[in-house]
Structure 1
Amino acid sequence: MDEIEIPHYFLCPISLQIMKDPVTAVTGITYDRESIERWLKTPAAAAAAAVCPVTKQPLPRAASDLTPNHMLRRLIQAWCVVNADSGVDRIPTPKSPVRRSLILKLVRDVSRINSVSLNGVALKKLEEIADEGEKNQKLMAEAGVAKAMVSFIVRCFKDVRNVGIDTALRILHLTWGPTSSEAKKIMVGENLDFVESLIWVLTIDAENTGLNTQALSVLKNVIEVANYSLIEGLNTEFFEKMVEFLRMNISPAATRAAIQILTETCKLGRSKTKIVEAGAVFELVEMELRNPPEKRTTELVFCLLAHLCSFADGRQQLLRHAGGVAVVAKRLLRVSAATDDLALCVLESIARYSGTAAVVTEMMRVGGVSKMCMVLQTDCAGYLKKKASGILRLHSNAWSNSPCLQVYLLTRCPR
């Protein structure tokens, strides 16, 4: 293809590549749509009035002001066909941009009551539009698609009808990110019905990994923007269901979402108590013992453990598990700096507030004390060394008299 002379007017002035979707700006210059739209979104263009890259004249930012150059596109496609034997790939005809009016019509169709078939057709079309890329997802978010999906899911919950639920959840997941923070808060607010709807979805089919993972991901997004009154209204059954998904471990994404939901809700004291009563600490320890998860999941596990061990009931549940302290000690210096920090937070809470003679001995026996001494010896961040040193000082008398520690390690940790 390097030997073929490409007509200069086939090339985009920005990318200098053959245009796949030529569009003409109001200045009369034709560009490839992807290139000019990217140009209009650059920080330089956003900071001041956008200008045409060629003529330097003012240029509207709206994509609707770019006119498709169909004649040039057909010429390029014909040229590509003629030169196909020389290695030139044919350029497909680009899809027309999705119109806001179409999305609004589909939203109205989804919102129609007692029209299951119409709802299904509209949902499928919205899913296809969302799958075409971020641009469509942003347009859908601006048209209120996320709000329509929330209403549809709640309606299915109240009517005990699960047709279209999986599609609605996927559309909501795809359009959630581009939706404004204010719109999210208005949608969720104190909408306990929506949370209950998602919990209901999780009970539909325990074997449907995709559906449950999608529902948990959406629930995580909802909890992140929920207000305190909604979180306070969550009952014990909610937390038991989240802990159950930790136990089931249906997929790494679902497990991470469940942990993040518990972490977000445990910021309230009442919720923290309910989470502990649901057996979360025990399940987190079991997760690490059964099959150590990937790095990111372990970091989330220890983040939740650090929160739960910051009060008495959480520490008590960790100490009741025969492998609780051992798991924390084992993960120290083995996963990441973030995990090290969180593990030290757990050990500090135990040593400072639950440091009975039996607990202090247990920390020594399972290698927790040795690991903290190793933190002082390895190339760790200064704040980690300071934290480990502080913990060791709490019970230095008991630990320094033990034959389990080597003398040269103790000399690095003065009392």
Structure 2
Amino acid sequence: MGDLQNEVEVPRFFICPISLEIMRDPVTLSTGITYDRDSIEKWLFSQKNDFCPVTKQVVVDIDLTPNHTLRRLIQSWCTLNASLGVERFPTPRPSISKTDIIKLLKESKSPHLQMNSLKRLKTIVSENEKNKRLMESVGATDYLTTILNNMFNDTNAMTSSSPAGEVTAADEALSILCHLKLSKTGLKSLFGKTGDFVETLTRVMQRATSYDSRAYAVMLLKSMFEVAEPMQVTSLDPKFFMELTQILKDQVSQKATKATLKLLINVCPWGRNRIKAAEAGVVRVLIDTLLDCTEKRVLEMVMIVLYEVCQCAEGRADLLKHEGGLAVVSKKIFRVSPVASERAVRILYSVAMYSGNARVVQEMLEVGVVEKLLLVLQVDCGSKMKEKAREILKVNSRVWKKSPCVIYDLGT
């Protein structure tokens, strides 16, 4: 159609202000300017702009009103100019409106309409970014969190009582909530939901029979804690860490594993969370993951979490209890990424400096930790990493220099 504009005189008001093409589906923004639907939706939702391209006003109401009169005029003009090669645009399929979504949300409260309405909402939210923002703007999170709270905070309505493989209303609600990809404001609002929504999602991880629901729960928690306030991070229940550890142990899915590790990276540095994570048994699971996993990004995140947990005595003790703890950590140096290597040396530093009794020092020599530290001094890597390795070697030089395996001057 762009080439035809050079051959056919096109009325100026048929042209979209953004794309400069003839509008196929004209819609009017709350600012009063009409655009082609695809162009303005891309501007607002894909490119994440919050203002009208023409007036520069902030767009408060994202509902787009179809301009039926202009569409009919454009279609009539196309018909009149058919002999010049202009094709008539088909009438567009009606777009989802706020009214449609609100109706479905209200129906989700009715037991006999609930599943059908939730399935329809799930389809709607999967279609495009505009639908996601519309659903959030009409308060969909309130409806969806209520369904989850009612299901998982009611001892008489346990999801575990449902037949294996059967999708429940709670499963659908959680899937929709996760796929909404809520804004920062929307995610923050979840912390204020009745019944402590973090606790609800912890129960989902514990009780849900669906692996998908457990994965969605941890992915939603990851997003929530990326915008959380310090008080919300430091007041986490030990059960929270127990369920995250179980997610890693069960290998629910690759996405769930990555979300869990990212979540632990965000929360472990706060308060007593390192201790809570260690007491939940996360160290053994992390080391086992290092043994079994081959994906670089996962291994890198495992090393970051392990470093955080090993900043407390409980974490270091669990590392040393594991039959291959020290060996596995040291072998990952130079085999994953610079970040993983740096964290591995820091873990070894924490162990050597704060838990380095005679048995540990001897084990570090026997499993090849000393050799790997000497290698760190000889290759091109970060100065801080070299400094940590050198300090470990100096502190234990009296013991390790007696070994015939060590030919490097530990005093330098």
TM-score, scaled to structure 1? 0.78
Q: Is the 8 A contact 1:331 1:343 kept in 2?
A: yes
Residues 145 and 175 in structure 1, CA contact (< 8 A), matched pair in contact too: no
CA–CA separation in structure 1 for the residues paired with 2:283 and 2:220: 24
2:163 equivalent to 1:160: no
Is the Cα–Cα contact under 8 Å of residues 63 and 97 in structure 2 kept in the other structure? Answer: no
Alignment of 1:392-411 (within 5 A): 392-407=393-408, 410=409
Match of 1:33 in 2: 37
Asked if the contact 2:233–2:270 (Cα under 8 Å) also holds between the matched residues in 1, the reply is: no
Query: Is 1:203 aligned to residue 217 of structure 2?
Result: no
The answer on 1:320 being equivalent to 2:321 is yes
Partner of 1:99: 97
Cα distance change of structure 1 residues 324 and 221 upon mapping to structure 2, 3 Å threshold: same
Contact kept? 2:18, 2:53, Cα under 8 Å: no
Range moving further from structure 2, 356-365 or 2-11: 2-11
Gaps of 5+ in 2: 160-167
Counterparts of 2:256 and 2:248, CA distance in 1: 8
What's the offset of the Cα at 1:117? 2.0
2:183 aligned residue: 178
Number of the residue aligned with 1:360: 361
- More helix per residue: 1
Tell me the residue number matched to 1:108: 106
In the alignment, what sits opposite 1:136? 131
Matches of 1:218 and 1:161 in 2, distance apart? 21
Cα–Cα, structure 1 residues 116 and 4, in superposed 2: closer, same or farther, change >3 Å?
same
Shift of 1:165: 1.5
Cα pair distance change 1:63/1:374, threshold 3 Å: same
Q: 1:183 is matched by which residue type in structure 2? A: S
Once residues 375 and 316 of structure 1 are traced to their aligned partners in structure 2, the CA distance between those partners, rounded to angstroms, is 25
Q: Would you say 1:15 and 2:19 are equivalent positions?
A: yes
Q: Does 1:295 align with 2:296?
A: yes
State the Cα distance separating 1:216 from its structure 2 match.
2.5
Asked if the contact 2:148/2:200 (under 8 Å) is kept, the reply is: no
Distance of 1:317 and 1:27 partners within structure 2: 61
Q: 1:333 to 1:8 in 2, by over 3 A?
A: farther
> Match of 2:237?
234
- Residue number in structure 1 paired with 2:252: 250
* 1:149 equivalent in structure 2: 144
Q: What is the distance in 2 between the residues matched to 1:59 and 1:274?
A: 48
Evaluate the alpha carbon distance shift between residue 249 and residue 63 of structure 1 in structure 2; reply closer, same or farther with a 3 A threshold: closer
In structure 1, C-alpha distance between the alignment counterparts of 2:396 and 2:250, rounded to whole Å: 39
- 1:88-113 Cα offsets, whole Å, 9 max, x none, are 99966544443333333333333x3x
1:100-129: CA deviation from partner (whole Å, max 9, x where unpaired)? 33333333333x3xx322222322232222
Distance 1:242 1:25 in 2: 44
Write the letter of the residue equivalent to 1:199: R
Q: Is the 8 A contact 2:283 2:315 kept in 1?
A: yes
**Does the 8 Å contact 1:263/1:307 carry over to 2?**
yes
CA contact (8 A) 1:287 1:293 kept: no
On the 8 A contact 2:222/2:263 being kept in 1, the answer is yes
Gaps of 5+ in 1: none
Corresponding residue pairs, total: 393
1:258 partner letter: T
Fraction of identical pairs, as percent: 33
Match of 2:120 among 118, 125, 136: 125
Aligned counterpart, 2:164 = none
CA separation of 1:335 and 1:97: change in aligned 2, threshold 3 A: same
Question: Counterparts of 1:305 and 1:404 in 2: how far apart (Å)?
Answer: 29
Q: Paired residue for 2:306?
A: 305
Alpha-carbon displacement from aligned partner over 1:18-57 (angstroms, at most 9, x marks no partner): 64433467999864333345557899x87xx8563xxxx7
Equivalent residues of 1:23, 1:66 under 8 A apart? yes
Q: 1:7 to 1:393 in 2, by over 3 A?
A: farther
- Say whether the 8 Å CA contact 1:137–1:178 is kept in structure 2: no
Give the drift of 1:327: 0.8
Report deviation, 1:227: 6.5
Residue type at the aligned position of 1:32 = D
What is the TM-score of this pair, normalised by structure 2?
0.78
Deviations 1:230-278 (A, max 9, x none): 8646245x44333232222121112223334444454455543343233
Which of these residues, 210, 215, 218, is aligned with residue 217 of structure 2? 215
The aligned amino acid for 2:246 is E
Change (3 A) 1:124 1:394: same
CA contact under 8 A between 1:284 and 1:301: conserved in structure 2?
A: yes
